[in-house]
């Protein structure tokens, strides 16, 4: 039984923003894979909903003339994984969201919902952090654009004010051109489970000189919000591609991340896994760039 007080179906971003301001007690719903579960469990019983599922302007993937990629917040995970622009330019994001739940969830769940949920275990989050994504937020009155790293405020909390709607995830061309990425999710089961720990590595390699020119490393479930390993990144940039590089990332990551103990895994176990999956992800990005492991 779903205890829903009122249901409003918005057909445009402007209408949705107006409804949210007119009815301050409402919540946004699109696919409903998170919201409906909470309502059924009684955590959000009696709530009112503004549905944005039918807003066409926030669906799909496009590449602008300047090379920037715009991903509509209402775009489903399945669409992202199979979209030709994603497959050509940022396949790591398609691979990451393809690990969300099962096929049914991926067919209804959206990247906007995954981000706005604020869950540190969200499969899209580490990769959009490593791609230095920008978030376009509209309120019917000009809106704003914010870096994704400033959007997460704490566990389950994001910088989305009353009447605001996330409309697009933007990946600037300079953040993906020449880069390769790989996402690894460690979970207790291979399917239909949230991450015990996850890591997305995006790197740029000079294959002729065999140098790691740039690298971005982001963990999920290693801190209260998705966590960029800035100290490790700085230490790795400019290093030759060799076994020493992979040993450095493994050791440095374990010094930098700060996972917690939980019933899913201990802090010590997460630290051990963290170093290993970061190393494996970096190795894979070097291989994708066409370079040798060492």
Per residue in 265-293, pLDDT tens? 899 999 999 999 999 999 999 999 986 66
Alpha helices in 41-83 (DSSP H): 77-82
CATH topology of domain 56-174: 3.30.465
How many Å separate Cα 96 from the centre of its chain?
8
237: helix, coil or strand?
coil
The pLDDT confidence band at residue 294, using thresholds 50, 70 and 90, is: low
The whole-number pLDDT of residue 1 equals: 62
Q: Where in the chain are the domains? A: 4-51, 56-174, 178-288
Cα end-to-end span (Å), the chain: 57
Pairing of strands 26-29, 47-51: parallel
Query: What is this structure's pTM?
Result: 0.94
CATH number for the segment(s) 4-51: 3.30.43.10
Q: Reply yes or no on domain 178-288 having CATH 3.30.70.3460.
A: no
The residue to which tokens 């302007």 are assigned: 57
- Provide the phi-psi class of 192: left if phi over 0, else alpha when psi is between -120 and 50, else beta: left
């Amino acid at each position: 039984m779903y205890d829903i007080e009122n249901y409003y179906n918005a057909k445009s971003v402007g209408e949705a923003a107006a409804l949210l301001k007119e009815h301050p007690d409402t919540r946004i719903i699109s696919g409903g894979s998170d919201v409906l579960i909470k309502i059924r469990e009684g955590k959000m019983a009696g709530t009112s909903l503004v549905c944005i599922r039918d807003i066409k302007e926030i669906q799909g993937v496009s590449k602008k003339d300047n090379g920037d990629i715009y991903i509509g917040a209402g775009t489903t995970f399945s669409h992202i994984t199979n979209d030709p622009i994603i497959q050509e330019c940022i396949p790591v994001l398609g691979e990451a969201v393809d690990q969300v739940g099962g096929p049914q969830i991926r067919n209804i769940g959206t990247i906007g919902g995954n981000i706005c949920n604020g869950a540190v275990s969200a499969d899209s989050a580490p990769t959009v952090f490593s791609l230095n994504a920008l978030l376009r937020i509209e309120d019917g009155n000009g809106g704003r654009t914010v870096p994704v790293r400033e959007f997460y405020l704490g566990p389950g909390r994001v910088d989305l004010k009353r009447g605001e709607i996330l409309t697009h995830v933007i990946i600037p061309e300079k953040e993906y051109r020449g880069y390769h990425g790989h996402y690894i999710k460690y979970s207790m089961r291979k399917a239909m489970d949230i991450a015990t720990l996850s890591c997305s590595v995006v790197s740029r390699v000079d294959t002729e000189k065999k140098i790691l020119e740039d690298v971005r490393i982001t963990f999920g479930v290693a801190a209260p919000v998705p966590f960029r390993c800035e100290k490790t990144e700085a230490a790795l940039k400019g290093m030759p591609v060799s076994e020493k590089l992979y040993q450095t990332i493994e050791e440095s990551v374990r010094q930098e991340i700060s996972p917690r103990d939980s019933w899913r895994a201990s802090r010590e176990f997460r630290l051990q896994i963290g170093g290993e999956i970061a190393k494996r992800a970096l190795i894979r990005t070097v291989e994708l760039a066409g370079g040798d492991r060492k």
